[in-house]
């Protein structure tokens, strides 16, 4: 089997596993269902993954790492003179774009985090902390620049991330364009985090 074909099959298994996990949950997901979704026989999965546990662990890690890498790369492409608030909005756009493109991975992570064994949580911990640190830096920089109100920034990060992470649970393209969704999220972030305008004198 060529390396390109092997990699394509491995990717197909991962996407199939993410789809089944997003529907069935960690406890109810079976290799037979994943194999059927990937159009493979169940024994073929063991060529790529030694166990169900390892496959699920990889799905979680791939979903989380691809999200962080996409957002990190999007921020790296911005001009240095982009304002801190605009950087937050760019990060939100990148988060939604990759999250909805990889919606089964994202939904699998969102729905199954509380069910995962400790060793999978440990595997995900460093990447999760790195992504949280990225958002913490974005928020702190905007606050220092006077573009975020004097609020509980730790809570603000969790509220923003919670809203972004939950989007695959309810959004689909029949409800409007991704561009409109991103613009709405960015408007909520700007007006929700930004300083409250001082009323003009009467």
Counting Cβ atoms within 10 Å, is residue 8 exposed (0-12), middle (13-18) or buried (19+)?
exposed
The pLDDT score that the predictor gives to residue 149 is 85
Q: How confident is the model at residue 6 (pLDDT cuts 50, 70, 90)?
A: confident
The pLDDT score that the predictor gives to residue 198 is 56
The pLDDT score that the predictor gives to residue 1 is 55
- What pLDDT, in 10s, does the model give residues 81-90? 999 999 999 9
Contact 21, 103 (CB under 8 A): no
Average pLDDT, the chain: 89
Hey, what's the torsion of the CAs at 9, 13, 14, 20, to 10 degrees? 160
Please tell me the distance from the alpha carbon of residue 124 to that of residue 96, in angstroms, as a whole number: 20
The pLDDT score that the predictor gives to residue 170 is 87
Q: At what angle do helices 178-193 and 84-101 cross, to 10 degrees?
A: 140
What percent of the chain lies above the pLDDT cut of 70?
96
- What pLDDT, in 10s, does the model give residues 60-107? 998 888 889 999 999 999 999 999 999 999 999 999 998 888 778 878
CATH for 59-193 is 1.10.357.10
Q: How confident is the model at residue 199 (pLDDT cuts 50, 70, 90)?
A: low
The pLDDT score that the predictor gives to residue 202 is 59
Rg of the chain over all Cα atoms, to the nearest angstrom: 20
User: Taking residues 22-33, what's their average pLDDT?
Assistant: 91
Read off the pTM: 0.84
Count CB atoms within 10 A of the CB of residue 146: 12
- What pLDDT, in 10s, does the model give residues 98-136? 888 877 887 888 778 888 888 988 988 888 899 999 999
Hey, what's the torsion of the CAs at 83, 85, 90, 96, to 10 degrees? 180
């Amino acid at each position: 089997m060529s390396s390109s074909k092997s990699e394509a099959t491995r990717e197909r298994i991962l996407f199939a596993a993410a789809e089944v996990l997003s529907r069935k949950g960690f406890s109810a997901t079976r290799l037979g269902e994943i194999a059927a979704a990937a159009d493979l026989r169940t024994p073929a999965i063991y060529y790529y993954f030694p166990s169900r546990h390892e496959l699920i662990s990889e799905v979680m890690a791939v979903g989380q790492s691809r999200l962080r890498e996409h957002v990190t790369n999007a921020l790296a492409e911005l001009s240095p003179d982009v304002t801190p608030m605009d950087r937050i909005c760019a990060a939100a756009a990148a988060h939604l774009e990759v999250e909805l493109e990889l919606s089964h991975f994202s939904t699998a992570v969102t729905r199954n985090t509380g069910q995962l064994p400790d060793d999978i949580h440990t595997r995900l911990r460093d990447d999760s902390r790195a992504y949280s640190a990225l958002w913490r830096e974005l928020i702190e920089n905007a606050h220092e620049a006077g573009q975020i109100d004097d609020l509980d920034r730790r809570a603000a990060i969790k509220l923003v991330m919670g809203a972004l992470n939950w989007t695959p649970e309810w959004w689909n393209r029949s409800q409007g364009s991704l561009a409109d969704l991103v613009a709405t999220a960015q408007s909520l972030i700007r007006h929700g985090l930004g300083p409250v305008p001082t009323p003009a004198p009467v």
